[in-house]
């Protein structure tokens, strides 16, 4: 089996170019000397060739920078002097963002292929924009509205009444029901949007399911990772704000309200009726109990167990989650006690 590492293997990714140094610098929104150079692609510092672009935003890898064969390197201004004379320094205060833009220059998303595949099943009253793509064996239900340039992947199921804005990308095996999607929403393979919330009454005879009558609202530029799940509301809507990103394997319970530009990392679970204000960061495997409010800009460290409200801007960790300094002091005290007891 071939194991040579290739950035942008042509079997899987469509490449554009070559591009001039000026075009690369423009895409990066960065400064570069006016030299007539052409570049064919991107690569890590360690394996880049003279016709490729690389980047550095972590001082740990300065040694790789000093020995790289890359023809140009995107760097912070304070590292420009460390770029070897064989490479051009493309200077910007935010190398990571610049790298993302340059990578997109060479490897843009493939355009949609307008039309409905012959094997797809589309309801007669569904409205599919002529520029949208509906893939093989996809199902589009009654009264669905699919906007311009949307892409519906193979075997996806779009339930009755769902509305999508422009340029949405719906991956393979995704199911969407009871949902309104804004523009540029991305649902990665296997995501489940709009299923019943986990709601039931406990009676002497057993559990009694409570009808879940709300919706899911995904605002513009939301991305939902592979095999993540977002339950529809019971009476209120479940809402995910513009620009928010969910990693793979994230669960969002019914009636949750998640603000703008939040990040939820893999295996995080949010119980019903929680509110996350704008710019909240939730680490991997965090669990948040129901009816909790997380303030704007708060950060929850990985594996935290949140059972109470978190103020805006706070950093919490541990179980039960506490302010980071408090938790770390508690850990230090416990370790000292443990060492003291072990010495006896």
Starting at the edge strand found earlier in the chain, the sheet holding 269-270 runs 121-122, 139-140, 157-158, 175-176, 192-193, 229-230, 251-252, 269-270, 287-288, 305-306
Query: From the CB of residue 60, how many other CB atoms can be counted at a distance below 10 Å?
Result: 7
User: Which of 155, 150, 145 has its CA nearest to residue 166?
Assistant: 150
The predicted model gives 47-57 an average pLDDT of 94
Instruction: Sort strands 200-203 and 206-209 into parallel, antiparallel or unpaired.
Output: antiparallel
Q: Which band of pLDDT confidence, cut at 50, 70 and 90, is reported for residue 335?
A: confident
CA 193 and chain centroid, separation: 15
Q: pLDDT above 70 covers what percent of the chain?
A: 98
Q: pLDDT tens for residues 262-312?
A: 999 999 999 999 999 999 999 999 999 999 999 999 999 999 999 999 999
Q: What is the pLDDT of residue 261?
A: 98
Mean pLDDT of all residues in the chain? 94
Q: Any catalytic annotation for residue 117?
A: no
Beta bridge partners of 170: 152, 187
Q: What is the pLDDT of residue 342?
A: 72
Domains, in order of start, for the chain: 19-106 (3.40.1390.10), 174-325 (2.160.10.10)
User: Which of 91, 57, 58 has its CA nearest to residue 72?
Assistant: 91
Phi, psi values for residue 181, rounded to 5°: -115, 135
For residues 62 and 226, which has the higher predicted lDDT (pLDDT)? 226
Q: Select which of 96, 117, 236, 254 is catalytic.
A: 254
Q: Contact 339/332 with Cβ under 8 angstroms?
A: no
* C-alpha torsion angle, residues 281, 260, 250, 289 (rounded to 10): 70
Residue 9 has pLDDT above 90, yes or no: no
Q: What is the pLDDT of residue 343?
A: 65
Q: Which band of pLDDT confidence, cut at 50, 70 and 90, is reported for residue 1?
A: low
User: Residue 118: is it exposed, middle or buried by C-beta count within 10 angstroms (0-12/13-18/19+)?
Assistant: exposed
Sign of CA dihedral 25, 18, 96, 184: positive
Q: Which band of pLDDT confidence, cut at 50, 70 and 90, is reported for residue 50?
A: very high
Q: Contact 282/258 with Cβ under 8 angstroms?
A: no
Q: pLDDT above 90 covers what percent of the chain?
A: 87
Run of H or E including 105: helix 95-106
Q: What is the pLDDT of residue 116?
A: 98
Q: Contact 194/212 with Cβ under 8 angstroms?
A: no
Residue 246 has pLDDT above 90, yes or no: yes
Q: pLDDT tens for residues 129-163?
A: 999 999 999 999 999 999 999 999 999 999 999 99
Residue 234 has pLDDT above 80, yes or no: yes
Q: pLDDT tens for residues 63-98?
A: 999 999 999 999 999 999 999 999 999 999 999 999
Q: What is the largest CA-CA distance in the chain?
A: 80
Q: Which band of pLDDT confidence, cut at 50, 70 and 90, is reported for residue 333?
A: confident
User: Residue 339: is it exposed, middle or buried by C-beta count within 10 angstroms (0-12/13-18/19+)?
Assistant: exposed
């Amino acid at each position: 089996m071939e194991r040579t590492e290739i950035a942008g293997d042509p079997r899987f990714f469509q490449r554009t170019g070559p591009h001039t140094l000026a075009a690369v610098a423009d895409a990066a929104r960065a400064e570069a000397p006016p030299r007539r150079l052409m570049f064919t692609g991107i690569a890590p510092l360690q394996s880049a060739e003279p016709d490729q672009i690389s980047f550095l935003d972590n001082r740990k890898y300065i040694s790789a920078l000093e020995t790289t064969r890359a023809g140009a390197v995107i760097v912070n201004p304070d590292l420009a002097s460390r770029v070897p004379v064989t490479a051009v320094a493309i200077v910007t205060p935010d190398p990571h963002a610049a790298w993302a833009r340059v990578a997109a220059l060479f490897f843009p998303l493939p355009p949609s292929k307008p039309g409905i595949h012959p094997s797809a099943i589309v309801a007669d009253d569904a409205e599919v924009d002529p520029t949208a793509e509906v893939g093989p064996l996809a199902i589009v239900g009654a009264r669905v509205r699919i906007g311009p340039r949307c892409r519906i992947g193979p075997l996806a199921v779009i339930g009755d009444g769902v509305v999508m804005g422009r340029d949405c990308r719906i991956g393979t095996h995704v199911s969407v029901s009871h949902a309104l999607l804004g523009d540029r929403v991305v649902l990665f393979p296997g995501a489940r949007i709009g299923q019943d919330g986990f709601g039931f009454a406990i009676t002497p005879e057993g559990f009694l399911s409570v009808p879940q009558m709300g919706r899911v609202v995904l605002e513009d530029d939301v991305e939902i990772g592979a095999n993540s799940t977002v339950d529809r509301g019971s009476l209120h809507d479940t809402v995910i704000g513009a620009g928010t990103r969910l990693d793979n394997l994230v669960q969002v319970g019914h009636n949750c309200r998640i603000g703008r530009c939040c990040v939820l990392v893999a295996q995080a679970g949010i119980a019903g009726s929680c509110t996350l204000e704008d710019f909240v960061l939730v680490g991997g495997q965090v669990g948040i109990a129901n009816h909790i409010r997380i303030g704007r800009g708060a950060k929850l460290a990985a594996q935290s167990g949140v059972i109470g409200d978190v103020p805006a801007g706070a950093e919490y960790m541990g179980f039960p989650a506490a302010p980071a300094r408090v938790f770390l002091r508690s850990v230090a005290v416990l370790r000292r006690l443990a060492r003291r007891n072990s010495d006896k």
